[in-house]
Structure 1
Amino acid sequence: MTATATVERTAPPVAAPVKIRRPRPGGASGKRRTIDWLMLLFAIAAGVVIVAPFYLILINSFKSPAEYAASGPLVPPTHLYFEGIQKFWERVNFPEKVWNSVFISGAVAVLAVLLSVLNAFAIGIGRVRGRTWVVLLFLLANLLPQEALLYPLYYMFKAVGLYNNVWSVIIVFTVIQAAFGTYLLSSVYGTFPKEVLEAAAIDGASRWQTLWRVIFPISRPTLSVLLIFFFIWTWNEFLIPLTFLVSNANQTVPVAISVLQGDRLMDVTTTSASALLGVIPTLLFFLIFQRTLTRGITAGAVK
């Protein structure tokens, strides 16, 4: 007897249609684009606000007093007028003032970075007792207004014979800038890898060799950023150089610019020319060390 088997074929199950949700025009992507456009407009507005004073200085530096009185400060000059720049250059002996500012700012930048490294090494790696209070003391030193330092520093420099001497300003700003540098570097050196220090100690390196052969090369990008900032900050200082550098031969560029402003009369075009000449050295310094500054900030942001 033969049995016949019937095979029933069943159709495969049909999958239910999947509904595809399309993003709404006013969804998250639309909000993100709106925020991006708002941020772009804010950046453009901030850029205009920053560039506007430089634009006014530039156009008024090459404008004669008569044209300034006739057209106002916002209209570009019809012809270039160089007597304002020449007048300021000869009146204050501008090359001498530039050299004073470069010498003071450069000396302060180098000495402040060196002192900051030594202090931060003792606090952050040497682990001195009460390091938290020491760092707090350096932080409080940065909060002191310069007006509070003028009276005691005046009598101190008078007593030691450094009044009306560029080294008085160098000493003051070295201490002020080194206080900030110590506060910053001590927190950086406090997180320095112990394995690197232990490896250097095993190799027989002394503390001095560890500092200059291990720690200094690794922290060089951060130190370069501090060096640039210390130079620019010291260059722009006005109150202390005005107080302690009374002779014309020792004055800096910001102090030289202030001598053009009288009690009731001010030559706007000559003042604009002096401001332009005062900005050019710092602008050149920033452009020269822009790559160093960018590398230092990037290296400090990446662990």
Structure 2
Amino acid sequence: MSWVILGGFVVLSLAMLSPIVLAVINSVKTSEEYARNGPLALPEGFDLSGLTEFWVSVDFTNKLLNSVLISVGVAALGVVLSLLTAYGLGVGRVRGRFWILALFMVAFTLPQEALVYPLYFMSKNVGLYDSQLAVIIIIGVLQAAFGTYLLSSVLSSVPDEVLEAARVDGAGRFRILTQIVTPLVRPTLMVLGAFFFVWTWNEFFIPLVLLPSGRNQTVSVALGSLFGQYTSDPVTTAAAAVVGILPALVFFILFQRTLMRGVNMGAVK
């Protein structure tokens, strides 16, 4: 039975990796070779013209830096907001905690199409339209709703005896948060930060609406600019897909141990 399950996971993994492998194969072909042999044939050589054309045409270096800045900013802001809010709900035992958490979950599950016009209107009024700061604040707050829901359940399991002992020793709320609560949930915070980073990296709709100028756009918006009714080069598109997912893939590989450790500790809690 275990071999059947293992085989199923292997087949599922190959199915999930096949689009990435196909994109890599087609990204090193020429347009003529793609048209002659099709997308499933192995490349005859190693041509990077599609990658170079995409990189130069969309100023990908700038888009890459924008995505890194926004993703890191959202991850940091989302984790801090999640921790502070969950600390008040999970440790402070706020009255009506259940309904507040339900409100957070409703906010997290609202479709972006229902939020984008009010967000656009508010960013215009406060002078943050076409600003990376606006995207960081908006996405960070939206993702903090999920982080609050997750962390509050973890913090509610912190023994009252530990907190009471800290208060007896003279620790205030800020010291309890920084020296007791934060070390206990650090693995979960790192998992949240990693999730927030990847989610923001793949975010498309909000940056598309709030960042109209090319100098502030992200990688996902740059990838979307390649597709049109009459303009779609498959080789350039494949190269763009590879360089678009590569940073997130490298990030996941570097932090996979941290992610697994945080998920396991969260499951134990």
TM-score bracket for this pair, using the shorter chain length: over 0.9
Partner of 1:221: 187
Confirm whether residue 110 of structure 1 aligns to residue 76 of structure 2: yes
Please point out which of 167, 171, 189 is paired with 1:205.
171
Partner of 1:188: 154
Deviates more, 1:84-93 or 1:285-294: 285-294
Matched residue, 2:223: 257
1:81 maps to 2:16: no
Question: Aligned partners of 2:126 and 2:11: how far apart in 1?
Answer: 51
CA distance in 2, matches of 1:208, 1:48: 48
What SS is found at the alignment partner of 2:231?
Answer: coil
- Which residue is equivalent to 2:35? 69
Please say if 1:234 is aligned against 2:200: yes
Q: Match for residue 124 of structure 1?
A: 90
Q: Report how far residue 37 of structure 1 moved.
A: 3.3
Structure 2 counterpart SS, 1:250: coil
Match of 2:143 in 1: 177
Which structure has the higher relative contact order (CA within 8 Å, separation 6+)?
2
* 1:14-55 C-alpha deviation (Å, 9 max, x unpaired): xxxxxxxxxxxxxxxxxxxxx323322321221121011011
Map Cα deviations across residues 100-130 of structure 1 (whole Å, 9 max, x no partner). 0000000100011001111001111111111
Deviations for 1:83-112, whole angstroms, at most 9, x for unmatched residues? 101001111111111110000000100011
Matched, 1:247 2:219: no
The separation in 2 between residues aligned to 1:77 and 1:41, in whole angstroms, is 29
Distance 2:252 2:3 in 1: 30
Match of 2:17 among 51, 66, 78: 51
Structure 1 counterpart of 2:181, one-letter code = I
- How many residues in Structure 1 have an aligned counterpart in Structure 2? 269
TM-score w.r.t. structure 1 length? 0.87
AA aligned to 1:186 is: S
Q: Following TM superposition, by how much is the alpha carbon of 1:265 offset from its aligned partner in structure 2, in angstroms?
A: 3.0
Give the drift of 1:190.
Answer: 1.1
1:41 and 2:41 matched: no
CA contact (8 A) 2:77 2:137 kept: no
Aligned to 2:62: 96
- Work out the percentage of aligned pairs sharing the same amino acid: 52
CA shift digits 1:209-228 (9 cap, x unpaired): 00100000111011010010
Structure 2 alignment gaps of length 5 or more: none
Give the letter for the 1:118 counterpart.
Answer: L
CA RMSD after TM alignment: 1.0
| Aligned twin of 2:111 | 145
Answer with 135-144 or 40-49: which moved more.
Answer: 40-49
Partner amino acid, structure 2, of 1:124: G
